[in-house]
């Protein structure tokens, strides 16, 4: 009985192993048949290494914005196992801050980081991918860019310049700016020189002021010396770091000109497309991580430093009068209409933006709008 059992068990194991050994052969035969050939995965040379440069519009190591670029470079290096190294340069270290676009476009540099409205002189439509006065907030802008077709339009707009843009963060709702003059009526805007970019700058001009575009590192000196009378920058955290409370008396809100400003990271399109597919995926994934980190960090630090400015530095926070905001809004609508009537790309971008905003506004009455007005009336 025992001998019979052993003989049967040996026979079972022998047959099982023979059948198992045949499986790979059958599978290989099936996969290589002429009618069912499987596509080959793209070849990845894991011995290839890449060393890229990235230039930014921000001062070197600028908190959150420049800091985020440094983190992005580190994440890419870690995820690629050292195959991809990105060296980050602040504005002016390798190229002037406002020449970042051209440096990446012509291939001298591989990557750039900034805000799309800096390039409005080259591409009027670019402004719509950064922010629109009285437009969408950060989460709405991100939803439009990433899920509502905005990013595809952005890439289409930059394609003639050999650039591939990505949404790379958002500063959130900004402040209205620092002024050395009280703004009680729209007449008080007359003759003021203010550092304010994008469509907001055009609105300020139409209201009787003069908009000036200067790099971040030059704003404090210009304000201190009276070259400009006012400036907007980002929000309480960055404004504190820049020391504006030492050279300006009034801190106005809300940031009608930038209710949710998207930041950008763009690559030289030709060079990006020559990267192995895994490195392309690593870069785009790290950009998404950068986007979330930047917005989250901005929200945290702005809440802390608004309190610090008000309580410790005794800054005079002022709300823009409703009359002034109404004038800004009217001029904003006029200017956007003029832009979209003149420029096909602007018309296309803003049509998509406005459609998404209207849809979101309709939905907001059932959630956040009623939530804040009913349960947080002071927010």
pLDDT of res. 124: 94
Say yes or no to pLDDT of 144 above 70. yes
Mean residue pLDDT across the chain: 88
163 or 32, greater pLDDT: 163
Neighbours of 231 (CB within 10 A): 25
pLDDT of res. 371: 82
Beta carbons of 58 and 30 less than 8 angstroms apart? no
Say yes or no to pLDDT of 145 above 70. yes
pLDDT of res. 374: 77
Q: Give the dihedral sign, CA 76/78/79/84.
A: positive
Beta carbons of 185 and 308 less than 8 angstroms apart? no
Residue 162, classed as helix, strand or coil, is coil
99 or 36, greater pLDDT: 99
Q: What are the structural domain ranges in the chain?
A: 50-170+261-299
Pairwise CA distance, residues 225 & 175, whole Å = 22
Say yes or no to pLDDT of 30 above 70. no
Question: What values do phi and psi take at 122, rounded to 5?
Answer: -95, -40
pLDDT classification of 216: cutoffs 50, 70, 90: confident
Neighbours of 96 (CB within 10 A): 14
Report the Cα 334 to chain-centroid distance in Å.
26
pLDDT of res. 116: 95
Q: Give the dihedral sign, CA 9/11/16/17.
A: positive
Beta carbons of 305 and 236 less than 8 angstroms apart? yes
**DSSP per-residue letters across 212-238:** E---GGGHHHHHHTTS-SEE--S-HHH
Pairwise CA distance, residues 224 & 205, whole Å = 22
Averaged pLDDT for residues 189-213: 94
pLDDT of res. 104: 98
Say yes or no to pLDDT of 2 above 60. no
pLDDT classification of 375: cutoffs 50, 70, 90: confident
Pairwise CA distance, residues 228 & 179, whole Å = 10
pLDDT classification of 379: cutoffs 50, 70, 90: low
Report the Cα 145 to chain-centroid distance in Å.
10
- Which fold is adopted by the domain 50-170+261-299? D-Maltodextrin-Binding Protein; domain 2 (3.40.190)
CA atoms within a 13 Å half-sphere pointing along the CA-CB vector of 6: 3
Beta carbons of 179 and 229 less than 8 angstroms apart? yes
Pairwise CA distance, residues 83 & 78, whole Å = 9
pLDDT of res. 373: 77
pLDDT classification of 213: cutoffs 50, 70, 90: confident
Pairwise CA distance, residues 328 & 336, whole Å = 12
Beta carbons of 171 and 258 less than 8 angstroms apart? yes
């Amino acid at each position: 009985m025992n001998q019979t059992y052993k003989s049967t068990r040996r026979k079972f194991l022998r047959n099982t192993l023979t059948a198992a050994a045949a499986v790979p052969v059958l599978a290989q035969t099936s996969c290589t048949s002429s009618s069912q050939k499987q596509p080959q995965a793209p070849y990845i040379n894991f011995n290839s290494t890449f060393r890229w440069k990235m230039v930014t519009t921000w001062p070197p190591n600028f908190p959150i914005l420049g800091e985020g670029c440094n983190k992005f470079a580190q994440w890419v290096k870690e995820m690629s196992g050292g195959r991809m190294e990105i060296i980050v340069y602040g504005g002016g270290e390798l190229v002037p801050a406002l020449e970042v676009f051209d440096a990446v476009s012509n291939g001298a540099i591989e990557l750039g980081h900034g805000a799309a409205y800096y390039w409005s002189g080259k591409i009027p439509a670019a402004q719509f991918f950064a922010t629109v006065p009285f437009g969408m907030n950060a989460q709405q802008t991100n939803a439009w860019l990433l899920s509502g077709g905005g990013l595809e339009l952005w890439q289409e707009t930059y394609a003639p310049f050999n650039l591939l843009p990505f949404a790379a963060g958002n500063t959130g709702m900004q402040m209205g700016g620092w002024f050395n003059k009280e703004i009680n009526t729209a007449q008080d805007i007359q003759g003021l020189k203010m550092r304010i970019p994008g469509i907001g700058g055009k609105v300020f001009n139409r209201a009787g002021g003069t908009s000036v575009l200067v790099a971040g590192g030059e704003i404090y000196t210009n304000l201190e010396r009276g070259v400009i009378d006012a400036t907007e920058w980002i929000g309480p955290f960055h404004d504190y770091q820049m020391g504006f409370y030492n050279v300006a008396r009034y801190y106005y809100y809300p940031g009608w000109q930038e209710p949710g400003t998207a930041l950008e990271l763009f690559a030289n399109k030709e060079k990006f497309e020559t990267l192995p597919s895994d490195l392309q995926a690593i870069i785009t994934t790290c950009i998404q991580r950068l986007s979330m980190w930047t917005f989250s960090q901005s929200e945290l630090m702005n809440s802390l430093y608004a309190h610090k400015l008000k309580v410790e530095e005794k800054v005079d926070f002022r709300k823009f009068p409703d009359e002034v905001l109404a004038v800004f809004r009217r001029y904003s609508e006029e200017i956007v209409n003029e832009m979209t009537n003149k420029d096909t790309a602007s018309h296309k971008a803003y049509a998509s933006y406005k459609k998404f905003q209207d849809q979101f506004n309709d939905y907001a009455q059932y959630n956040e709008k009623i939530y804040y007005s009913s349960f947080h009336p002071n927010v």
